[in-house]
Structure 1
Amino acid sequence: MISISYSHERQHRFACALDSALGHLVEIPAALLVLAEIVVLLAGVTSRYLLHAPLVWSDELASMLFLWLAMLGAVIALRRGEHMRMTALVGMAPPGVRAFLDVVAIAAPIAFLAMVIGPAISFAQDESFITTPALELSNSWRAAALPVGSALMLLVAVVRLARMGNWRLTLAAIATVGALAGIFIALGPLLRDLGNINLLIFFVGLVALGVLSGVPIAFSFGLATFGYLALTTNTPMPVVVGRMDEGMSHLILLSVPLFVFLGQLIEMTGMAAAMIAFLASLLGHVRGGLSYVLVGAMYLVSGISGSKAADMAAVAPVLFPEMKARGAKPGDLVALLAATGAQTETIPPSLVLITLGSVTGVSISALFTGGMLPGIVLAITLCIVVQWRYRREDMSGVKRATGVEILRKFVIAFPAIALPFVIRAAVVEGIATATEVSTIGIAYAVLAGLLIYRRFEWKRLKPMLIDTATLSGAILLIIGAATSMAWALTQSGFSGQLAQTLGALPGGAAMFMAASICVFVILGSVLEGIPAIVLFGPLMFPIARQMGIHDVHYAMVVILSMGVGLFAPPFGVGYYSACAVSRIHPDEGMKPILGYIAALMVGLIIVAAVPWISTGFLH
């Protein structure tokens, strides 16, 4: 017995050492890739606009490095357990069931990665026949990121299983996943005769089973897509890997890691704190004043970071202590924080806006212009609830800021407040693309931190770069898996049938808009915004166009609907992110958030009913 336990301990120590070595092997290159992307793109922007001598190779090199960044980031996210997954139901399960499902959440990705490595190698070999125009390099250098990243993820997942220590649970989880795969393979001949019923089996049944069991969303999508195409069609699997590559390699998506990093810079240099201090000096003395500041701060900060978690992490620690000191209940604080997360989903440069533009072909500049006013409409509805809730707040001990204090804080905050407007203006006026302007924003934030705010913590740069790669990898792997899934749905003819069904709804465009709101609120709560957009955007937008609905108007309604779903408990992942950031138990905010969700829905209906709110400022 002693020798067995000693053997287990030795295996566990070896697995931990291997995991640590893998971490160093992947994290340093991933951090350097983020840095390289910033330098390459900034060099391209500088040479084009300042030196008037474009670097023809800069976009090409950035694109080659980007796929490596996405795959290595996905490896780190898997190692850290940070791939997006729905854990609401898992969290409610008894401890034994929860432990089992946590192991299944590692075993299922192993099954997917084992299936994808072979086709990924074939795809990379096929890409060797393509040469990049500017650098004249074989495209297999870029495509090799897919098999290498998949192999590293497989190794990381196996090591994570080995670290679990509970071999009985591990074997049970592997056996469950293996048995399920075996059943599907055995039923293969029968499945081929079922036609579109397979769409329900794989894309509803299997995806729901994976997502609700806590399997990361990207791998749930990947397993369903590979299973459907391998067992019911004659599609070569390298083609599916090609669709994944296409989804992850959009140059527009390069702005995702750059805006994530910019959001972290804003917090680290003190720019976010300066903005909030100025807003607090303006409104801190009125009833519910700091709640209005929270709404306004999230509106401003969202325009810089593009990452909801980064937004909330920048705002909550600055405001919450003072709000609690004034008697605000923790539940009400986290409820309002989550509600402002939903309210600011359309504020540029939102990652969801950028993703939507990349998969539907809608102009990013038009989306950035159209996203400003809907956020204000929802802010007004939230402020009405705030005013009602805090109408009896005791303000006797609160001192009103003097004009001189307000002016001084404005001067300090001005460089920070100017940044989101600089970013939006540069994109909307066509001076720079969303990707290019993110590098300009990073340079601006670095200079502001060093020269104006005199706050720049060099030691935090490395973890910030690694965190950027991790979040980007998690997002981009979902986009890749969802792109291949959307392609499979299109190949099956499902999109045409969906268009016919929705087009035949009584009530025309108004009924279609109402149905879209319901569908995307549900999708937002289960799948989160980005995977839902990638999956259903290409299917729904052509139908909206046929109905005579403007692309930008429809985009705003869809994004806000998903935002409401994303931040609405019990399933909304964003709500639990707000709880984690503010360190408040989810149960405390469940009741207070209902009023804010109702306010958001009223605002959403107003935005849906009045197209001008989304399209009034378009050229």
Structure 2
Amino acid sequence: MIIVLLFGLMFALMALGLPIALSIGLPAIGLIVTPGVFPESATLAALGQTVVQQLFSGVDSFDLLAVPLFMIAGSIMEVGGISRRLIDFCNSLVGWAPGGLAAAAIVASMIIAGISGSAAADTAAIGAVVIPAMIRQGYPPAFAAAVVAAGGSIGIIIPPSIPMVIFGFMTNISTSQLFAGGMLVGVLLGLSFIIVAVWISWRKGYGERVPFTWSEVAVTGKAAIWSMGAPVVVLGGILSGVVTVTEAAALAVFYALLVGTVINRELAWKDLPALIIKSQVAAGGILFIIAMAKIFGWLLAMQQSARLLDVFVSSLSLPPTGLLLMVMALLLVVGCVMETTAALLLLVPVLALLTPQMMVDPVQFGVLVVVNLAIGMLTPPVGICLFVSCSIAGISLGKISRAVMPLVIVALLDLMVAALWPPLTMWLPTLFYR
């Protein structure tokens, strides 16, 4: 009864428009201090102390320092000239093909994904440059926005990834292994998006082709070489074991700051305070959700939710593959209606307990969870990448939602491949760490 009431109150508050953190935390806190939920020996003062302790322990982690650091790196990247130089270089490589600029936007998104770990930041950084350019070349605004949104969603799959940091923190799974597991899946998604974008552009005659010349590749490559070096430094440090994920996040901030202020000279020192404040307000919101979700999860655990879930799953009598596909379907639905961080914090503590029954490695499951939620960023009504792209393009959510559907379909096919073919997610973690 308590579990049903807890989730019912949470969804009711969300429907009323209350912020996600409060929608998660207030029902849990309210039920904890309600007389009769806990034994009478538990005084109100003791329960209040428990709430405070759970709030603090929810964010008391060195690993979570990576979240605000990656947010700063993404903000610096957005205004430091990194994205524009990457797009110019990628366009010099693939601009000769039908839909060349669309393909270049996706390639640039894959490169930038190796810096910030935030899909929204990647979408904004690429979209601010490439969406107006695509519209000038004759691409429909909805298609241009959809391509950029799809490319931005890769930002949480190709490492570094803020959702993977959160997943690793919650499950005590190596974040570095999660990063390695997401790399090939992210590349597969990027290639699939490129194929779809080029095919649609060729069939409908979108865009202009840019003649391929080695001189243009050399010029744009020279301008972008420092921008392309950021993922090499960050990911190379993590995968080689030289730095931890949190240290790599600090390295990303330093590198983005160096490139933006000293090399590209497009970021003024006087602009840094505003950038830091903006990024840390966003990071603070994420950490507040994590703290509130800790209380929510603690109350679920006290109500023996794990045992009830085990009984429910056993009653279904599904084979491991069937159970895995059912969990994937649930995550897809949740990703459509709930913000990524909130979905992670509410579902992972429960669903991670099912990995033995699903017969999947915890690292593979973590990657699959993040891919599911990345697809949710491309679906209304809560697709954050759609919101960022359509605001840049100046179009309605309905128009971009229709244009993004072919990209969502191919992403779902890639998700099936990742779920049913474990080597795609497990080969690199096994190669580097086992």
SS in 2 for 1:392: helix
- Provide closer, same or farther for how the CA distance between residues 297 and 399 of structure 1 changes in structure 2, counting only shifts above 3 A: closer
How many residues are matched? 422
- Provide closer, same or farther for how the CA distance between residues 418 and 207 of structure 1 changes in structure 2, counting only shifts above 3 A: same
Find the counterpart in structure 2 of residue 57 from structure 1: none
CA contact (8 A) 1:503 1:543 kept: no
One-letter code of the match for 2:14?
V
CA contact (8 A) 1:341 1:563 kept: no
SS in 1 for 2:173: coil
- Provide closer, same or farther for how the CA distance between residues 496 and 395 of structure 1 changes in structure 2, counting only shifts above 3 A: closer
SS in 2 for 1:576: helix
CA contact (8 A) 1:377 1:603 kept: yes
Query: Which segment drifts farther, 207-216 or 567-576?
Result: 567-576
For residues 311-364 of structure 1, the C-alpha deviation after alignment (integer angstroms, 9 at most, x for no partner) is 111101211122112211111122222222334421111110111111111101
For residues 399-452 of structure 1, the C-alpha deviation after alignment (integer angstroms, 9 at most, x for no partner) is 314101101211221111111121111112211111111222222222223432
Find the counterpart in structure 2 of residue 407 from structure 1: 218
Find the counterpart in structure 1 of residue 249 from structure 2: 438
Taking the aligned partners of 2:406 and 2:208, their CA distance within structure 1 comes to 28
Which of 415, 424, 439 pairs up with 2:235?
Answer: 424
Please report how far the alpha carbon of residue 600 of structure 1 lies from its aligned counterpart in structure 2 after TM superposition: 1.0
Find the counterpart in structure 2 of residue 389 from structure 1: 200
Find the counterpart in structure 2 of residue 561 from structure 1: 372
Taking the aligned partners of 1:292 and 1:338, their CA distance within structure 2 comes to 13
Please report how far the alpha carbon of residue 602 of structure 1 lies from its aligned counterpart in structure 2 after TM superposition: 0.8
Please report how far the alpha carbon of residue 590 of structure 1 lies from its aligned counterpart in structure 2 after TM superposition: 2.2
Find the counterpart in structure 1 of residue 12 from structure 2: 209
Is 2:44 aligned against 1:233? no
CA contact (8 A) 2:418 2:425 kept: yes
Which of 285, 293, 317 pairs up with 1:474?
Answer: 285
Taking the aligned partners of 1:549 and 1:494, their CA distance within structure 2 comes to 21
Is 2:2 aligned against 1:198? yes
Find the counterpart in structure 1 of residue 272 from structure 2: 461
- Provide closer, same or farther for how the CA distance between residues 288 and 335 of structure 1 changes in structure 2, counting only shifts above 3 A: same
Is 2:155 aligned against 1:338? no
One-letter code of the match for 2:2?
N
Is 2:394 aligned against 1:579? no
Alignment of structure 1 residues 272-311 onto 2, 5 Å: 272-311=83-122
One-letter code of the match for 1:225?
A
For residues 549-590 of structure 1, the C-alpha deviation after alignment (integer angstroms, 9 at most, x for no partner) is 111111111111112123201343442233224433212212
Please report how far the alpha carbon of residue 500 of structure 1 lies from its aligned counterpart in structure 2 after TM superposition: 3.1
For residues 153-208 of structure 1, the C-alpha deviation after alignment (integer angstroms, 9 at most, x for no partner) is xxxxxxxxxxxxxxxxxxxxxxxxxxxxxxxxxxxxxxxxxxxx2211222x1111
One-letter code of the match for 1:501?
F
SS in 1 for 2:428: coil
Please report how far the alpha carbon of residue 396 of structure 1 lies from its aligned counterpart in structure 2 after TM superposition: 9.4
For residues 271-318 of structure 1, the C-alpha deviation after alignment (integer angstroms, 9 at most, x for no partner) is 221111100111112101111112111111121111222111110121
- Provide closer, same or farther for how the CA distance between residues 533 and 569 of structure 1 changes in structure 2, counting only shifts above 3 A: same
Taking the aligned partners of 1:331 and 1:471, their CA distance within structure 2 comes to 27
One-letter code of the match for 1:229?
I
Which of 365, 372, 377 pairs up with 2:176?
Answer: 365
Find the counterpart in structure 2 of residue 530 from structure 1: 341
For residues 196-250 of structure 1, the C-alpha deviation after alignment (integer angstroms, 9 at most, x for no partner) is x2211222x1111111221101001111101221222245122122112111221
SS in 2 for 1:316: helix
Larger Rg: 1
CA contact (8 A) 1:339 1:596 kept: yes
Taking the aligned partners of 1:505 and 1:400, their CA distance within structure 2 comes to 58
SS in 2 for 1:584: coil
Taking the aligned partners of 1:339 and 1:502, their CA distance within structure 2 comes to 34
Taking the aligned partners of 1:309 and 1:357, their CA distance within structure 2 comes to 21
Which of 326, 343, 347 pairs up with 1:515?
Answer: 326
Taking the aligned partners of 2:245 and 2:107, their CA distance within structure 1 comes to 23
Q: RMSD value over aligned CA atoms? A: 1.8
CA contact (8 A) 1:370 1:614 kept: yes
SS in 2 for 1:391: helix
Taking the aligned partners of 1:240 and 1:359, their CA distance within structure 2 comes to 18
Find the counterpart in structure 1 of residue 131 from structure 2: 320
Please report how far the alpha carbon of residue 615 of structure 1 lies from its aligned counterpart in structure 2 after TM superposition: 0.5
Taking the aligned partners of 1:480 and 1:395, their CA distance within structure 2 comes to 47
CA contact (8 A) 1:253 1:358 kept: yes
Taking the aligned partners of 1:499 and 1:341, their CA distance within structure 2 comes to 36
CA contact (8 A) 2:108 2:126 kept: yes
CA contact (8 A) 2:10 2:23 kept: yes
Which of 305, 308, 312 pairs up with 1:494?
Answer: 305
Taking the aligned partners of 1:364 and 1:397, their CA distance within structure 2 comes to 42
- Provide closer, same or farther for how the CA distance between residues 396 and 615 of structure 1 changes in structure 2, counting only shifts above 3 A: closer
SS in 1 for 2:157: coil
TM-score of the superposition, structure 1-length normalised?
0.66
Taking the aligned partners of 1:325 and 1:455, their CA distance within structure 2 comes to 24
CA contact (8 A) 1:270 1:453 kept: yes
CA contact (8 A) 2:98 2:207 kept: no
CA contact (8 A) 1:202 1:227 kept: no
One-letter code of the match for 1:548?
M
Taking the aligned partners of 1:207 and 1:486, their CA distance within structure 2 comes to 13
CA contact (8 A) 2:69 2:249 kept: yes
Taking the aligned partners of 2:53 and 2:207, their CA distance within structure 1 comes to 64
Identity of aligned residues (%): 28
Taking the aligned partners of 2:348 and 2:208, their CA distance within structure 1 comes to 51
Find the counterpart in structure 2 of residue 548 from structure 1: 359
CA contact (8 A) 1:303 1:348 kept: yes
Taking the aligned partners of 1:396 and 1:534, their CA distance within structure 2 comes to 42
One-letter code of the match for 1:523?
V
CA contact (8 A) 1:353 1:368 kept: yes
Taking the aligned partners of 1:315 and 1:496, their CA distance within structure 2 comes to 46
One-letter code of the match for 1:201?
L
Taking the aligned partners of 1:318 and 1:396, their CA distance within structure 2 comes to 16
Taking the aligned partners of 1:615 and 1:293, their CA distance within structure 2 comes to 28
One-letter code of the match for 2:192?
T
CA contact (8 A) 2:149 2:378 kept: yes
TM-score of the superposition, structure 2-length normalised?
0.92
Taking the aligned partners of 1:459 and 1:450, their CA distance within structure 2 comes to 11
One-letter code of the match for 2:179?
F
- Provide closer, same or farther for how the CA distance between residues 337 and 481 of structure 1 changes in structure 2, counting only shifts above 3 A: same
